[in-house]
């Protein structure tokens, strides 16, 4: 996604690293807020935080994070009480994988044509 929008070409590797670093920091804070919303069965707070994370994830190509948050946009308090902890475990695991893929890309590892990163199914991040 970043490459499609020209962000990579616009600002180069350092610019993209800054965007990704900001996403990782912001997403970690939102995950904490989502966990608190689950604990308090706050469906409105959960939906608001999931919406914020969904938007950020879309901007940096974290497609599975985006899809998870999109699927949760209409959860009610009962669903959060019954499944919220499971959802948070899934989201945290996906976020860890995305963070690892970003770390790989930021470390300058280049992928050959046809080669896939650890998160190629859920992350579109230019590494060239």
Complete domains list, the chain, with CATH: 7-106 (1.20.120.160)
End-to-end CA distance of the chain: 14
pLDDT in tens, 80-90: 999 999 999 99
Among 7-11, 13-17, 34-38, 91-95, the minimum mean pLDDT is found in: 7-11
Q: pLDDT value at position 6? A: 59
Among 11-15, 28-32, 37-41, 91-95, the minimum mean pLDDT is found in: 11-15
Look at the alpha carbons of 124, 83, 43, 100 in this order and tell me if their dihedral is positive or negative. Answer: negative
Q: How many CA atoms lie within 13 A of 114 on its CB side?
A: 0
**φ, ψ for residue 56, nearest 5 deg:** -65, -45
Q: What is the mean pLDDT of residues 33-48?
A: 94
Q: State percent of the chain over pLDDT 70.
A: 73
């Amino acid at each position: 996604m970043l490459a499609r929008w020209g962000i990579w070409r616009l600002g180069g590797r350092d610019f993209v690293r800054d965007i990704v670093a900001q996403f990782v920091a912001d997403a970690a804070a939102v995950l904490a807020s989502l966990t608190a919303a689950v604990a308090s069965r706050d469906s409105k707070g959960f939906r608001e935080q999931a919406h914020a994370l969904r938007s950020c994830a879309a901007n940096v190509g974290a497609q599975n994070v985006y899809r998870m948050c999109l699927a949760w946009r209409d959860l009610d308090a009962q669903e959060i009480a019954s499944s919220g902890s499971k959802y948070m475990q899934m989201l945290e695991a996906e976020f860890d994988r995305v963070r690892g893929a970003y770390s790989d890309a930021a470390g300058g590892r280049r992928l050959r044509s046809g080669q896939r990163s650890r998160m190629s199914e859920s992350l579109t991040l230019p590494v060239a």
